[in-house]
């Protein structure tokens, strides 16, 4: 048992972004299971913020940014716990979602800095690319939730609901960010459409910058090897 735990810890230190991505998929599954129960959704949010608390120790950040990110995490934990224990006032939900969105965005930014800090491509950076994408999608889903809490009927769906379920907002966020357009929920209010346009821009820029960088780093990593082989052939 001790050896297995030690092996898991070693893997975690070597591939922290891979663990983060796996935990996010677990949170997504829990979101499906807790679709109709608000307390379980709050517990899922708390688990998501705990994930951010874990990655705060492994991503490369400046001390000021680490302090700022941890403050977002602590605030998200506190207000999500209030939601979990039954405080469902609008201001509590808005504050909890705001802290959670800031925590997810700060973690996504930290992973981007981690990927751009050198000119070498590692396995963990490949997982970090996927983790940063999903963190950004979760952050915008929280912003959409704030939007509909402030302005009911901000999103239109076939059922004409004033407040969309969390899973529908998350599905909308992934659809907008990946530019697939599969969601049947449409932004209606000006605030919702503004957030959607911002996410469209960041989603397209993320795919363009990250994919081009990963391809470039993969190409650069093979250049010295190819040059040495060519020199040997010439001699």
Residue 179 DSSP SS3: coil
What pLDDT sits at residue 225?
56
* Structure-block tokens of residue 207: 């795919």
pLDDT tens string 186-208: 889 999 999 999 999 999 988 88
pTM, to two decimals: 0.82
Give residue 128's pLDDT band: very low, low, confident or very high (50, 70, 90). confident
Written as six digits, the tokens of 47 are 């688990």
- For 159, counting Cβ atoms within 10 Å of its Cβ (0-12 exposed, 13-18 middle, 19+ buried), the class is exposed
For residue range 66-88, list pLDDT tens digits in order: 778 778 888 888 888 888 777 88
pLDDT at 234: 46
The Cα 117–Cα 196 span in angstroms is 30
């Amino acid at each position: 048992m001790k050896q297995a735990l030690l092996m898991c810890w070693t893997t975690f230190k070597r591939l922290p972004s891979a663990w983060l991505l796996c935990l996010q998929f677990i949170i997504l599954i829990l979101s499906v299971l807790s679709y109709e129960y608000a307390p379980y959704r709050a517990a899922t949010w708390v688990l998501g913020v705990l994930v951010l608390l874990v990655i705060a120790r492994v991503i490369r950040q400046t001390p000021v940014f680490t302090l700022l990110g941890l403050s977002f995490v602590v605030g998200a934990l506190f207000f999500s716990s209030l939601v979990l224990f039954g405080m469902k006032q609008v201001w509590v939900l808005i504050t909890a979602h705001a802290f959670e969105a800031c925590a997810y965005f700060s973690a996504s930014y930290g992973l981007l800095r981690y990927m751009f800090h050198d000119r070498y491509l590692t396995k963990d950076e490949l997982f970090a690319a996927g983790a940063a994408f999903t963190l950004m999608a979760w952050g915008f889903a929280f912003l959409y939730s704030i939007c509909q809490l402030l302005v009911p009927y901000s999103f239109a769906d076939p059922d004409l609901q004033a407040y969309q379920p969390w899973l529908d907002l998350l599905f909308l966020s992934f659809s907008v960010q990946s530019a697939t357009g599969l969601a049947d929920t449409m932004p209606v209010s000006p605030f919702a459409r503004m957030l959607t346009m911002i996410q469209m821009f960041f989603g397209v820029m993320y795919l363009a910058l990250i994919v081009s960088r990963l391809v470039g780093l993969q190409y650069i990593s093979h250049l010295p090897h190819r040059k040495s082989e060519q020199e040997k052939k010439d001699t």
